[in-house]
């Protein structure tokens, strides 16, 4: 049996999924997802620079490859610990952002629907 769709301002959506989300989905979760992305976005250049510094420090300490750039004041392990913690925090935030977005995928209409030229939905035959 073909799935029913509903036409919205943003395209056709699965009627049953829409009803479920209207009864259970909190759109504030998407604002929290924006906050998680912003945390990464605002820190991304500094994170990159810190990773490059960590790489230079590691090359000197591990590979005895001296002359890779200026030394940082904190010990290598402290920088690594800070970066690992920050990346884990970003990963957790992005995972939550994914969980906020993923339920909206259920709105996709089934493969057995079509929109007629006049805008009315028609079921595909066969």
Report domain extents, the chain.
Answer: 5-121
* 89 Cβ contact partners less than 8 Å away, ≥ 6 residues apart: 39
Axis crossing angle, helix 28-63 with helix 76-101, rounded to the nearest 10:
150
**Rounded-to-integer distance, Cα 77 and Cα 88, Å:** 16
Distance CA 53, CA 105 (A): 40
Query: What is the model's pTM?
Result: 0.73
pLDDT per residue, tens digit, the chain (126 aa), is 677 999 999 999 999 999 999 999 999 999 999 999 999 999 999 999 999 999 999 999 898 877 766 678 899 999 999 999 999 999 999 999 999 999 999 999 987 655 433 445 444 444
Taking a C-beta distance cutoff of 8 angstroms, is the pair 76, 54 a contact?
A: yes
Longest dimension (CA), the chain: 72
- The torsion angles phi and psi of 5, rounded to 5 degrees, stand at -120, 160
């Amino acid at each position: 049996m073909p799935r029913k769709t509903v036409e919205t301002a943003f395209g056709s959506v699965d009627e049953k999924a829409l009803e479920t989300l209207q009864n259970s989905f909190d759109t504030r979760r998407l604002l929290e997802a924006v906050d998680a992305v912003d945390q990464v976005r605002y820190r991304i250049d500094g994170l990159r620079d810190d990773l490059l510094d960590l790489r230079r420090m590691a090359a000197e300490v591990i590979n005895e490859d001296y002359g890779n750039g200026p030394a940082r004041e904190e010990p290598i392990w402290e920088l690594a610990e800070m970066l690992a913690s920050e990346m884990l925090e970003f990963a957790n935030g992005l995972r939550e952002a994914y969980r906020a977005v993923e339920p909206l995928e259920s709105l996709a209409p089934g493969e057995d629907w079509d929109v007629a030229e006049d805008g009315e939905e028609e079921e595909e035959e066969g």
